[in-house]
Copies of this chain bind each other. A is one copy, B any other.
Amino acid sequence: MDNVLAYLRDHRREHLDWAIDLCRIPSVSTKPEHKEDCAAAARWTRDLCERIGLNATVHETGSHPLVYAEWCQAAGAPTYLVYGHLDVQPGGDPALWDSGPFEPLVKEGRLIGRGAADNKGQVLVHLRAAAAWLACESRLPVNLKFLLEGEEEIGSPHLGPFLEQNRDLLRCDHILISDTGMYIEGWPTITYGTRGLLYKEIRISGPKQDLHSGAFGGTVANPATVLARILATLHYADGRVSIPGFYDDVVLPSPAERQQLSRLPLDKQKYLVETGSLQVCGERGFTTNERRWIRPTLDVNGICGGFTGEGASTIIPAWARAKVSMRLVPNQSSEWLSRVFDETIRARCPQTVRLEILTHGWADAYVVPVDSRPVRSAWWALQEAFGREPVLVREGGSLPILPMFRKVLEADSLLIGFAGPSCNAHGPNENIRLDDLDRGAEAVARLYAYLAG
């Protein structure tokens, strides 16, 4: 182990150059004009994998390719699948960056550039650890498979089919993912659950075109009014969601979990500044972290209809629409809820208008036990590398790949993230601390050893 850690220390500069080189490739999966860049990022990563001693291949998927790499010579040892992604969000306005989004910059101990945190920098943490083991010991303590896709930022449309078609290739005991964040800067963090999602769109149509509100006002149903009245029924006065049966299958947190979550500091003033809100609020009887991590919610994500320009236009809108999404927790079923949501909206919509309901996405919540071997291994590895106890958190967002891995590969996922809370993923000046990358690589090198058992 000491050799491996010394190797990591001695090769920091070289490993940083890997991240700089990879972040320089604008592999923006959302934009067709970057298709060749996405392929270039895959080829670059395959070459690196080969160079450090993995067998690596670029797989075409129908759109942006993915990289599969492996080292599976640890006979009898468990097998871990490292998942990550090589594609990034668009750079946005270059003027908001210290240098261009694709001109990586090292400044004040941070690597700044699109993909530094999400997810290229964190993918390389694993490859650094593997490289150190292979260079020092000519072996890895466990069998490792790397699945590095190129379409995460567009919803991984080809990942499901690839998993289905390559179950044997991808067979593993557990999955390792570093695509989450740290709860507080420098605090090693294990994420053991995410919320699910059900995303709907309610479309109300009335008149065939916008009508003059003077000539017709008072004689026909107004779609915007109808929509507002439906949306207003979706919560009770106390803020709880009013879809029938919404809370029936919700698992209440155990006293141990509540206690553990309550030990996480939350600076209310900082939270208000960060969100720019006047007050924190939410479901009675729960803390802010509980409200965003372990309790389900319903939010209107967008609403529009009729005249939305400056000033006045006296019309009755022809239609009005709202996007409505729910964040789900165990054991809510997104499939069941989707049906009940639609029935509820239909029942609450008057006969004076036409109603259409679209479903834009769904995923169940995902939680793993915190006393598993992978979590315990990560705990020790992170503590040793960072010199402080890791924290266990849940995440309010959704990672649909986690239930998909569980379903198709029958394997659970360990989420350890090295991006700080101010990493600004998807925004300008996306960054990651060099110290977190270095300690992360050390932690992962230790983790591989712990996972061997």
Contacts and interface: CB of A to CB of B under 8 A. Distances in A.
Interface of A: 194-195, 197, 199, 206-209, 211-222, 224-225, 227-229, 231-235, 271, 275-283, 288, 291-292, 295-297, 299-308, 311-318, 320-323, 325, 327, 351-354, 360-361, 395-398
B216 A292 contact: yes
Given A235-B225, A361-B312, A300 B317 contact: yes
A60 B288 CA distance: 64
Contacts of A283: 218
Given A212-B397, A232-B229, A308 B313 contact: no
A214 B397 contact: yes
A317 B302 contact: yes
A49 B351 CA distance: 55
A414 to B, nearest CB: 20
Contacts of A206: 276-278
Max chain B Cβ within 10 angstroms of own Cβ: one of A278, A295, A301, A398: A301
A48 B291 CA distance: 75
B275 A211 contact: yes
A53 to B, nearest CB: 38
Given A219-B292, A224-B299, A312-B323, 19 more contacts: A208-B277, A212-B397, A214-B397, A217-B297, A218-B297, A218-B327, A219-B281, A220-B281, A220-B282, A221-B277, A221-B278, A221-B281, A229-B231, A278-B352, A299-B316, A302-B305, A304-B304, A311-B360, A314-B397
A286 to B, nearest CB: 8
Contact of A302 (B217, B224, B234, B292): B224
Contact of A195 (B214, B222, B225, B276): B214
Contacts of A318: 276
A301 B276 contact: no
A312 B199 contact: yes
A215 B277 CA distance: 14
Nearest to A220: B277
A218 B316 contact: no
Contacts of A396: 212, 214-218
Contact of A276 (B207, B280, B314, B398): B207
Contacts of A325: 213, 217, 312, 314
Contacts of A302: 224, 305-308, 313, 315, 317
Contact of A303 (B214, B228, B280, B292): B228
Contacts of A312: 199, 301, 323, 325, 360-361
Contacts of A304: 303-305, 308
A329 to B, nearest CB: 10
Nearest to A195: B214
Given A219-B280, A276-B208, A279-B221, A323 B307 contact: yes
A213 B307 contact: no
- Most B CB contacts (10 A, CB to CB) among A216, A217, A222 go to A217
Contacts of A313: 301-302, 323
Contacts of A217: 292, 297, 299, 325, 327, 396
Contact of A279 (B224, B297, B351): B351
A308 B302 CA distance: 6
A300 B235 contact: no
Contacts of A317: 300-303
Nearest to A359: B312
A213 B327 contact: yes
A360 B312 CA distance: 6
A227 B302 CA distance: 12
